[in-house]
Amino acid sequence: GQNIDQPTEMTATEGAIVQINCTYQTSGFNGLFWYQQHAGEAPTFLSYNVLDGLEEKGRFSSFLSRSKGYSYLLLKELQMKDSASYLCAVQKDSNYQLIWGAGTKLIIKP
Amino acid sequence: KAGVTQTPRYLIKTRGQQVTLSCSPISGHRSVSWYQQTPGQGLQFLFEYFSETQRNKGNFPGRFSGRQFSNSRSEMNVSTLELGDSALYLCASSTAGTGKSEQYFGPGTRLTVT
């Protein structure tokens, strides 16, 4: 079977740090994507992890542990514009198809 | 470069009708994927086309079909519409659809079936 779990909703304060977790059980794994989706808009690419470890890109970092089937997205110095849904997607190794989690809605409060 | 475009943006149809949605990928992108998005369900993969061939297919009934043209533009067709087909339909294009080939999404077509 294929299963990707993310928390449904999280709340954080402007200026703080938040970690959004993603756990997965899939038949085959090639890499993991994180996308951001603002309400009423299309998803946009944030990061891609294929090897274990942390990938840092400005205020956003993404971590992957293949052996644990676990990833997280770390957002620092939160801004109001970071209020959005964050989608985790596993890329299968057999056909590169993406399997998506249901997304985590992040609410930023002043 | 122009982004991914989808037409129409909004559509209202009646049960039993059929609908065709269109997607124009970013120039040079040969892979086009289609997704259905509903609240709480996340993105559900419909199918992927690469160089006019269906390369991957999700678990949707045969009422959902698609095709890709030689210029990489793609269409998706849903026949015999059901109320449960109401959703946001997103298409995404990428250069090859493999490895770190990230997907670029269009704005989506919001389909409402009454």
pLDDT (tens digit, 9 = 90+) per residue, A45-97? 999 999 999 999 999 999 999 999 999 999 999 999 999 999 999 998 877 88
Q: What is the pLDDT of residue A1?
A: 65
B108/A30 Cβ within 8 A: no
Place of tokens 């559900």: B44
| Residue A37 neighbours by CB under 8 Å, 6+ apart | A43, A44, A84, A85, A86, A87, A103
d(CA A67, CA B79): 43
Residues B110, B100 contacting (CB under 8 angstroms): no
Which chain B residue has its CA at the smallest distance from A36's CA?
B105
Distance CA B33, CA B98 (A): 12
**Are B92 and B30 spatial neighbours (Cβ–Cβ below 8 Å)?**
no
- Identify which of B23, B42, B29 has the alpha carbon closest to the alpha carbon of residue A103: B42
Question: Partners of A4 in the beta sheet?
Answer: A24
CA dist., res. A103 & res. A91, Å (int): 16
Closest CA to B34 of B11, B66, B8, B61: B66
Q: How many CA atoms lie within 13 A of A35 on its CB side?
A: 25
pLDDT the model gives residue B65: 97
Q: Does A94 touch chain B (CB under 8 A)?
A: no
* CB nearest to A42's CB, from B45, B100, B106: B106
Nearest residue of chain B to residue A87 (CA atoms): B42
Q: Report whether pLDDT(B98) > 70.
A: no
Reported as a single tens digit per residue, the pLDDT across A2-20 is: 789 999 999 999 999 999 9
Inter-chain residue contact B43 with A43, CB threshold 8 Å = yes
User: What's the pLDDT band for B99 if we cut at 50, 70, 90?
Assistant: low
Distances (CA, A) of B27 to A2, B4, B9, B98, B109: 33, 9, 20, 17, 20
What's the pLDDT tens digit per position in B41-92?
789 999 999 999 999 899 999 999 999 999 999 999 999 999 999 999 999 9
- Please report residues of B whose CB lies closer than 8 A to that of A31: 99-100
Peptide bond into B8 cis (omega under 30): yes
Output the pLDDT for position A97. Answer: 84
* CA angle, residues B96, B98, B101, in degrees to nearest 5: 70
Could you say which of B45, B101, B102 has the minimum Cβ distance to residue A97? B45
pLDDT value at residue A10: 98
Q: How many Cα atoms sit within 13 Å of A104 on the Cβ side? A: 24
pLDDT score at B2:
80
Measured between CA atoms, how close is B88 to chain A, in angstroms? 10
Mean pLDDT for chain B? Answer: 93
The shortest C-alpha distance from B94 to chain A (Å) reads: 12
Residues in B lying within 8 Å of A, measured between beta carbons: 4, 33, 35, 40-45, 48, 55-56, 90, 97-108
> Which of B100, B101, B105 has its CB closest to that of A43?
B105
The model's pLDDT over A17-45, given as tens digits with 9 standing for 90+, comes to 999 999 999 888 999 999 999 998 999 99
Check residue B66 and give its pLDDT: 97
Does B32 or A28 have the greater pLDDT score? Answer: B32
Whether A48 sits inside 8 A of B102 (CB atoms) is yes
